[in-house]
Amino acid sequence: MKLTLYVWRQKSAAQEGEFRRYDMQEVSPDSSFLEVLDLLNEQLILKGEEPIEFEHDCREGICGCCSMVINGRPHGPKKLHTTCQLHMRNFEDGATVYVEPWRAAAFPVVKDLVVDRSSFDRIIQSGGYISVNTGSAPEANSVPIGKEVIDTAMDAATCIGCGACVAACPNGSAALFTAAKISHLGLLAQGQPERYDRVLRMVDQMDKELFGSCTNHGECQEACPKGISIKYISMMNRDFIRATAARVMDPKGAMKAQ
Amino acid sequence: MGLVRNFYRTTVGKKVVMAVTGLILVLFVIGHMGGNLKFFAGIDAATGTHKLDHYAAFLRTMGSELFGHAGVLWMVRVGLLVAVLLHVVSAVQLSRLSMAARPRSYAVQSFRSATPASRSMRYGGMFLFVFIILHILHFTTGTIHYQGFEHGRVFANLMSGFQPWYVPMLYVIAMAALALHLYHGVWSMFQTMGVTSPAWNNGARCIAKIVAVILFVGFSSVPLAAHFGLVEGDNTPTAMAAIVER
Ligand code: FES
């Protein structure tokens, strides 16, 4: 099949970027989107041009590296797909395809389609962990957790941190990512001791990273390759309100009599 | 105090402020619409004045034993003003953050779940803000009223105020904007306060739709009925002339 690609080329964060047009012939409908870029890069190298820089690692939809916006949609047109899992049979023969990086102030472009997502790492560092004593792993069934709770926590934990939620959000908000990480730990018994500290610190860090503010469009949920629900955003808001309310109370439970 | 500041400093805190003030404003607007429907209550046979005027007088006298004439009314007004200001200030601050968060837009725009309602919140909100100012100048102070505005004669003021065709048109358009704002806003409020869940999400969406539709129909009925003379009252040319003369 034939393809007309418009790919965002940008030398560095400091330089201005632009779309460049590439016409491709004989693309196999069975190849993945990343393989098309590989093919294109081979042609570019043969012509002595600089290849397109893009991120990839696992190529099986679990690492969250392959970030690019394809025709206005993070990871392309198919729901619940990463770019590496997207096949060309989902495009029409002769299609025009725009490929651009995540567009967010918190994700500066490194080069071409590669963006710097260390803002996500800093959100995790601010509270996305549990404190456990070292030693051998505890007996798995020593802390019983309900099936529903564990499923909800597990669904949040499927987040691969790709950043599609931020890319899709018209506000450039990281609410879904942050909410998924907060809920995944906050739901489980091991996450309880730091639960309220965690939500306050992670929301605070999210704000420091130049992300926008969620207005509940729900675009993140559509774009998420793991289908993470915006119910976690509701849970994050709830925990945030509770955490603030808990701060109002005296930690030792002292009550004013007069 | 530090706690309040820390809470408000975060985006989630500002959103909660928007949700709570939004709730106050929605509740007020529902009450306002209910009161407006007195427009259809007709004339009180005993006094010969319109029941809507009685209702307006009641709003001034309620609680007057405790708080003096129009005391409660003014408390409500100040409360609403504070709610509006907090709602607007948070909205402006959050919008600026969000606009800075996406410095360059995509070459192809594609929306899958954002609706015209959710995408027009900012513009609709600005329009409603201007409308509220005009509306107060129109029927509360009478500054921009068509002709013959008289304090306390609410029914007559409505009848004359809605005579030029563009006035009811502006009001109906504003109510459409309000309905659109609340179609997303009411549900968004639940989500921001963290009370939504998949189990009752349909219920939350449903409440938003019902509020939007009822407010649109209820509010629009008054300007339309006044303009087209669909209601009994002093809409006769002679009564109109008398109002204009006075
Ligand atoms: S390359 Fe790992 S998810 Fe696509």
pLDDT of residue B238: 43
Distance from CA of B124 to the nearest CA of A (A): 14
User: Does the Cβ of A61 fall within 6 Å of ligand 1?
Assistant: yes
CATH topology of domain A117-249: Fumarate Reductase Iron-sulfur Protein; Chain B, domain 2 (1.10.1060)
Tokens read off for B72: 């409660």
Would residue A92 be called left, alpha or beta, if left means φ above 0 and alpha means ψ between -120 and 50 degrees?
A: beta
How far apart, in whole angstroms, are the C-alpha atoms of residue B140 and residue B119?
A: 32
Instruction: Inform me whether the pLDDT recorded for B240 exceeds 70.
Output: no
Q: Which residues of B touch A (CB under 8 A)?
A: 3, 6-7, 9-16, 94, 97-114, 118-119, 121, 184, 187-188, 191-198, 201
pLDDT of residue B234: 58
| B188-212 tens-digit pLDDT | 999 999 999 999 999 999 999 999 9
Q: How much is the average pLDDT of B109-120?
A: 94
The Cα A58–Cα A66 span in angstroms is 9
Is it the case that residue B1 has pLDDT exceeding 70? Answer: no
| CA-wise closest residue to A67 among A163, A158, A209, A181 | A163
Mean pLDDT of B15-30: 98
pTM: 0.93
Shortest Cα–Cα distance, A138 to chain B (Å): 33
Average pLDDT over residues B33-37: 96
* CA distance linking residue B200 with residue A254, whole number of Å: 37
Q: What are the residue ranges in chain A where pLDDT is below 50?
A: none
The finding on whether A35 has its CB within 6 A of some atom of ligand 1 is no
Contact B108 A212 (CB under 8 A): no
Q: Looking up tokens 């860090």, which residue turns up? A: A205
CA distance A243 to A207: 17
What separation in Å is there between the alpha carbon of A232 and the centre of ligand 1? 23
Total length of chain B:
246
Q: For residue B222, is pLDDT > 60?
A: yes
Q: Each residue of A50-83: pLDDT tens digit?
A: 999 999 999 999 999 999 999 999 999 999 999 9
Long-range contact set of residues A137-145: C-beta below 8 Å, sequence gap at least 24: A143/A189, A143/A190, A145/A188, A145/A189
- Contact residues on chain A for B114, CB-CB shorter than 8 A: 170, 217-219
pLDDT confidence of residue B5: 86
Q: Which of A36, A37, A58, A114 to mutate to test the pocket of ligand 1 (most atoms within 8 A of CB)?
A: A58
As a whole number of Å, the end-to-end CA separation of chain B is 54
Q: Specify the long-range contacts of residues B134-141, CB closer than 8 Å, at least 24 apart.
A: B134/B170, B135/B174, B138/B167
Integer distance in angstroms from the first to the last C-alpha of chain A?
Answer: 80
Cα(A62)–Cα(B98) distance, integer angstroms: 29
With a 6 A CB cut-off, is A206 part of the ligand 1 pocket?
no
Question: Does pLDDT of B155 surpass 60?
Answer: yes
Tokens describing residue B172: 């109906």
Q: How far is A139 from chain B (nearest CA, A)?
A: 33
> What is the percentage of chain B residues whose pLDDT exceeds 90?
76
Class of domain A3-110 (CATH, top level): alpha beta
Distance of CA A10 to the CA centre of its chain: 22
Please tell me which residue of chain A has the smallest CA distance to B188: A216
Please state, as a whole number, how many other Cβ atoms lie within 10 Å of the Cβ of residue B135: 15
Assess whether the C-beta atom of A121 lies below 6 angstroms from ligand 1.
Answer: no
Q: How far is the CA of B83 from the CAs of A193, B18, B24, in angstroms?
A: 36, 9, 7
* Ligand 1 neighbour A74 (Cβ under 6 A): no
Phi-psi region of B102 (alpha: psi -120 to 50; beta: other; left: phi over 0): beta
Provide the pLDDT for residue B239: 54
What pLDDT was estimated at residue B236? 44
Indicate the pLDDT class of residue B232, thresholds 50, 70 and 90: confident
What is the residue extent of each domain of chain A?
Answer: 3-110, 117-249
Write down the pLDDT at residue A255.
83
